[in-house]
Each structure stands twice: as C-alpha cells, then as structure tokens.
A = this chain, B = another copy of it.
Amino acid sequence: MLTPISYQSCTVTGGFWENRQQINRSVTARAVYERFTDTHRFDLLKCPSRDAVEWTPHHFWDSDVAKWLEGAAYILAKHPDPWLQERAEEAIADLLANQWPDGYMNSYFTVTPAETRFTNRDRHELYTAGHLMEAACAWYESTGQDAFLKGVCRYADLIYRIFVEENSAEFVTGGHPEVELALVRLAQTTGNQKYFDLAKFFLDQRGKNAKDGPLNDWTKLLYDMSHMPLTQQTVAEGHAVRAMYLAAAMADMTEDPAYRKAAGAIFQNTTKKRMYITGGLGSQHVGEAFTLDHDLPNATAYAETCAALAMIFFAKRLLQVTPRGCYADVIERELYNGALSGVSLDGKSFFYVNPLELEPAFNQTNMATTQKIKRPITQRVEVFNCSCCPPNVLRVLASMSELLYSVEEDTLFVHQYAASEAEHQGIRVQTQTRYPADGRISIQVTGAKTAALRIPGWCERFTLNVPYDLKEGYAYAWVPADGKILLDLEMKPVWMQTNAYVPDCANKVALMRGPVVYCLEGVDNGSRLRNVLVDPNAPIGETESDSFGVPILKTKGLYRLPGEGLYGRFQNLHQEKELTLIPYFAFANRGESEMYVWLNYKLP
C-alpha cells in the first residue's frame, strides 16, 4: 500500500495547475457560493417555513453545499481567506443547528413534510449524508475544528443503527452511491472501525437484498449496479457517476481480494471499452448512463463532469493499492480533458455534459414540438438546476496536489508532474517543470532511496539522468547523492485513432499532445468543419499560449467547398486549409462555435 502525500503536505508552486488553482480559489469558490445563494441552497440550511418561500428545494441541495464546504476546507488549509472562512462557518453552524436530536441531518427532508426519511432509495439521502461526511472530514483536517465532524459521526451512528442494527429503513442500499467511500474516509479520519464496517455492509448488501428494488419505473436494477453482488460484477453499468463512486468504494476494500478483483475488472472494462478519449464517461443522456461496449457517440456524448471526477476518485484508490501507470494515466487524462472541460477558463461557468462534437446550428432540432432530441448545451452556464458538477470541480481542483505523490517505505512515487513541493515523514521533493507545456521535469529528492516516476502511456521516448528499472508504467530510479533527477518526456503532437469497434470514430483521428486532447473549433476555423480532412503526415506547428497553458497547434488539411444542389455527382471539391487546434478543455470559451475532437483524414 502506498501512502499518498496529502494536499496539506503538498503545494503546487507554479505553472499550469498553480494558475488553475488560483482561479479556483479567487473566482470559482466565490462564484459557486453566490449562485448557490441566489438559488436558495444556503437559505435551505436555515430551515425556513415551507409556506413562507417561493422556491422549491431539491432533494440533494445539501450535497451541493457539502461539496462547496469541502472545497472551501481544502483552500483554507493553505490560503487563509476570511470571507470564505466566515461563510463556511455559517453554513456549518446552520447545518448543525438543524441536526435532529437523533443525529439526522438533511435539510430537504427536514422542511418537506411530504417526505419520510429512509423510505425511498432514489432520494439521494445516503448520498447527501456521504458528502456531509467528506466535507466534515476535510473541515476537521484543514481547520482542526471538530464540531462538524462530531455532527456527522452522530448522523453516521444513526445510519448504522437504522440500517444495520434495526434494519428498519425501507431500503438497504442507496440509489446513488457516495456514502460508502465517505464512510471509509470517516473511519480513517476518526479511527472508528464501525464506519468502515458500515461502508462494507452497504457494499456487501448491494445486489443481494430483496428490499432494494429498481429506483423508478423506467430504471432496472442494472442502473445502479444492484442487479447482482458487487464482487461478481465486471462491467461499469448504468448511471456513470453512480458506477464510479461505487467502484471507488470497492477499491477502498483493500484487504478483500474479491472486491479488488471486481474493482480491477470494472476499471479495465471502463477504460478499454466505455471511455471517451477525453476520459468522458456515459454515452447517453437517458439515465446519464453507460450503454454498450464501444458505443461512444461524439455529438450526443453525456460525459458528465462528475463522472470524470469520479473516475479520478476510483483510479487514485486503485493506484495506492497497486502502483500501475494505467491508473495514474487515467487520472491525468481526466485532469487535462474530461474533468477540466467542466469549468470555463475564467472559472465562473460550468458544463454538466461534455460532448466531443458541437454543432450549434443543429442544436435547435425539432421546431415543431416541445419535445426534442436531446443535445448538449453549447455554452457553459453558472449554475444548473441539478448543480452537482460545479462544487465537485471546485473540491477536486482545490485538492489536486494530493494526486501528485505517494510514498511507500523509502520509495517516492511521482504520479503526476507539476511544479510543486511536498514533504512526508522525512521525504522531501521539489519539482520544477512547465508540464504539460513541455515534458522537461526536474525533481529534487531527499530522504528517499528510490524515485518511481510515472512514464505516461502517451510517451514513446524519454530520457532520465539516472539508472532505472521500468515496471508497469513507472521508472524506478535510484536517487543520486545530490538528489537531482532530470526526466525528459518527449512530447509531440500525435494523431490518435480508436480501434475499429467504435462506430463513431471509424476512419477518424484526434490530435493529442502529451496528455492533452485537442479540438477544432469554429471560432478559429470557420463553419461546417465536418468537411475538414486532416493530413496525418503534415507537419504540426506549435505556438505558445498563455491563456491555455499549452501550445496552440497548427497544421494543414483539406476543406470541402460547399458545392451546389443537395445531391450531385462526386467531385473532388477539397482545397487546402490551415487548421488551428486548441486544447479540448478550453473549448466554448470564446462564444458559441462548432467543435470537433474526431476528424476525418486523408489517407496518406
């Protein structure tokens, strides 16, 4: 088992992620707070009389607040901010003031007389409880204040009593997983094994208990992976976020080989058959769900921001058990693509759905009916009715430094490359790099004998200034006497393809440079960009970009002229066109525009 160096012991000191964390602190934390205030999410914590208000609360508003609190905790650990601290403390005080005498804590159920607690699997009660637990753990770690933590422990005790001791709830496992991984964390933070046992209870019961029916009339048990015991499952099914939160908790059962095996199988299935090149998960809007192996439509991709983030939670747990490059590679894929695209460059607005193609002109389908073929929105918005993604991005960006390093005995693992400093039990590390602007990385290590450096899956050639053994995606290098390690990952633009089983990418290529997926956007390239053919052999020029933190790429391709008539004889109407590609994470930041990740190519 590796021990991750926590966000408290690791600081990002510059470059790509320092910039994004700075925006996250100064803009996103405030913007999410303000939009949640506008939409009464914080008002709900004060439990007004239902008759007195004009707004209708949503049943998981508390989880939105909890994720914001968790993000605030991570920020405050390193960056004192009285404005943020005051508002977080007020929200925590409100939550605790309204906790029921028996420990129950859920503002929506408290103010909604029509709802009876623990009767409906699909009301996100345990999910919301889990987010409160995660927030309380983060708040305690960051501030040392334990009132919130004690509060959620009382709630966890109540859940234990009702679900384990009394078996008196009308269901046994929650429709939306989250409480499982949160209970593991609560057990770690408090040292109380009971919470771990409760997490394992929920995992063990899933798919076994007759009390747990389908969530509603259009879902099947498969939808939340309740169709069979988890240890027998090998495929990521149903709602993508739920599947990944559940798989993360399975990966937390580190001592149980059956869960380790099942979690590993689900990881392999997801990443090898059901994941977009951006790391996006979930192929359709109906149910926000996985569908079938290789069914990865680009324009109608769901690829929810929360699902990309949840894959980070899942992979980081697998990585601590077994240091394999494939796990850290996926974390990197999510960080630079499918997760990061969820927030605008200015940190104020968000995507819930992250498609790989956008054609705004055709988004207004079906003018004749109010029902429409569902397509993703074309521009990020500041808050959603169901606004789980924005505070989820906030908390992950605020704590992303915990993804960089782990320690196991006298080995320092470097999973992700970012300018940073960290210290853990006598091991110190300082990394200097412009990564992913380039692949040159200088690492200064003291206190460790070995530095295990991830060699990313995208990297075909690298140099290292010290001897090393390569094993499962990591170069295990002897730390030299002066502690100086120089790693150079060759980073060039590369055209990628899928295997021939993915219908939507047949005879198409996508451009990557290092871990970053690129896209062709209308604002740079005009319209009707499906008519572009790229030339996989043409040179690709790089132009530095301060706004993106990675270069803009330019190449030459072909573009088909409009032609006349709806149908006509084939003519070669292609002419040369300079193409400008920008990182996918930065799309839809300059107005409404076409966008494509996968492009047709001219066969060399």
User: A residues within 8 Å of B by Cβ?
Assistant: 217-220, 222-223, 237-239, 271-273, 275, 277, 283-284, 286-287, 289-292, 295, 300, 359, 361-362, 364-373, 494-503, 506-507, 509, 528, 530-531, 533, 536, 558, 560-574, 600-604
Query: Which residues of chain B are near A295, meaning CB under 8 Å?
Result: 362, 365
CA distance A271 to B570 in the complex (A): 19
Q: List the 8 shortest-distance A-B pairs measured between CB atoms, nearest first.
A: A506-B530, A238-B368, A495-B570, A223-B368, A499-B563, A287-B369, A222-B368, A500-B562
Query: Which residues of chain B are near A495, meaning CB under 8 Å?
Result: 569-570
Question: Contact: B499 with A568, CB < 8 Å?
Answer: yes
Question: Contact: B286 with A366, CB < 8 Å?
Answer: yes
Question: Contact: B564 with A499, CB < 8 Å?
Answer: yes
Most chain B CB inside 10 Å of its own CB: which residue of A275, A369, A509, A561: A369
Q: Which residue of B is nearest A565, CB measured?
A: B499
Listed by A's residue number, 29 A-B pairs whose Cβ atoms lie within 8 Å are A218-B371, A219-B368, A219-B369, A238-B368, A238-B369, A272-B565, A272-B566, A273-B566, A275-B566, A284-B365, A287-B369, A289-B368, A289-B369, A291-B362, A494-B569, A496-B569, A498-B568, A499-B565, A500-B561, A500-B573, A506-B560, A507-B530, A507-B531, A507-B600, A509-B570, A558-B603, A572-B604, A600-B600, A602-B603
Question: Contact: A501 with B567, CB < 8 Å?
Answer: no
CA distance A362 to B504 in the complex (A): 11
Question: Contact: A218 with B369, CB < 8 Å?
Answer: yes
Known interface pairs A284-B373, A369-B218. Does A568 touch B239 (Cβ–Cβ under 8 Å)?
A: no
Contact of A506 among B367, B368, B531 (CB under 8 A): B531
Q: Which residue of B is nearest A569, CB measured?
A: B494
Tell me the number of copies of this protein: 2
CA distance A567 to B273 in the complex (A): 10
CA distance A530 to B566 in the complex (A): 23
Question: Contact: B359 with A223, CB < 8 Å?
Answer: no
Query: Which residues of chain B are near A533, meaning CB under 8 Å?
Result: 507, 603
CA distance A413 to B101 in the complex (A): 91
Question: Contact: A286 with B371, CB < 8 Å?
Answer: yes
Q: How far is the CB of A285 from chain B (nearest CB, A)?
A: 8
| Additional A-B contacts beyond A497-B563, A499-B565 (13; CB < 8 A) | A219-B369, A272-B565, A284-B373, A291-B367, A292-B361, A497-B568, A497-B571, A499-B562, A499-B563, A500-B573, A503-B528, A574-B603, A603-B603
CA distance A494 to B287 in the complex (A): 43
Q: Which residue of B is nearest A235, CB measured?
A: B367
Q: How far is the CB of A590 from chain B (nearest CB, A)?
A: 22
Question: Contact: A291 with B603, CB < 8 Å?
Answer: no
Q: How far is the CB of A67 from chain B (nearest CB, A)?
A: 25
Query: Which residues of chain B are near A237, meaning CB under 8 Å?
Result: 367-368
CA distance A295 to B369 in the complex (A): 16
Known interface pairs A498-B566, A507-B530, A566-B272. Does A372 touch B572 (Cβ–Cβ under 8 Å)?
A: no
CA distance A275 to B567 in the complex (A): 10
Q: How far is the CB of A566 from chain B (nearest CB, A)?
A: 5
Q: Which residue of B is nearest A271, CB measured?
A: B566
Question: Contact: B501 with A372, CB < 8 Å?
Answer: no
Q: Which residue of B is nearest A530, CB measured?
A: B506
Question: Contact: A498 with B567, CB < 8 Å?
Answer: yes
Question: Contact: B509 with A528, CB < 8 Å?
Answer: no
Q: How far is the CB of A489 from chain B (nearest CB, A)?
A: 16
Q: Which residue of B is nearest A602, CB measured?
A: B603
Question: Contact: A506 with B528, CB < 8 Å?
Answer: yes
CA distance A272 to B272 in the complex (A): 43
Most chain B CB inside 10 Å of its own CB: which residue of A222, A564, A567: A567
Question: Contact: A239 with B507, CB < 8 Å?
Answer: no
Question: Contact: A562 with B219, CB < 8 Å?
Answer: no
CA distance A67 to B6 in the complex (A): 74
CA distance A56 to B277 in the complex (A): 50
Q: Which residue of B is nearest A601, CB measured?
A: B570
Q: How far is the CB of A343 from chain B (nearest CB, A)?
A: 24
Q: How far is the CB of A240 from chain B (nearest CB, A)?
A: 10
Q: How far is the CB of A81 from chain B (nearest CB, A)?
A: 40
CA distance A223 to B371 in the complex (A): 12
Most chain B CB inside 10 Å of its own CB: which residue of A217, A283, A531, A566: A566
Q: How far is the CB of A495 from chain B (nearest CB, A)?
A: 4
Query: Which residues of chain B are near A290, meaning CB under 8 Å?
Result: 368
CA distance A533 to B533 in the complex (A): 14
Known interface pairs A219-B370, A368-B223. Does A570 touch B275 (Cβ–Cβ under 8 Å)?
A: no
Q: Which residue of B is nearest A275, CB measured?
A: B566
Question: Contact: A528 with B500, CB < 8 Å?
Answer: yes
Q: How far is the CB of A247 from chain B (nearest CB, A)?
A: 15
Query: Which residues of chain B are near A562, meaning CB under 8 Å?
Result: 499-501
Question: Contact: B218 with A536, CB < 8 Å?
Answer: no
Contact of A369 among B286, B501, B560, B570 (CB under 8 A): B286
Question: Contact: A292 with B500, CB < 8 Å?
Answer: no
Most chain B CB inside 10 Å of its own CB: which residue of A277, A295, A366: A366
Question: Contact: A222 with B367, CB < 8 Å?
Answer: yes
Question: Contact: A365 with B291, CB < 8 Å?
Answer: yes
Q: Which residue of B is nearest A571, CB measured?
A: B497
Query: Which residues of chain B are near A573, meaning CB under 8 Å?
Result: 500
CA distance A600 to B504 in the complex (A): 12
Question: Contact: A220 with B567, CB < 8 Å?
Answer: no
Q: Which residue of B is nearest A558, CB measured?
A: B603
Known interface pairs A367-B292, A371-B286. Does A501 touch B530 (Cβ–Cβ under 8 Å)?
A: no
CA distance A272 to B568 in the complex (A): 11
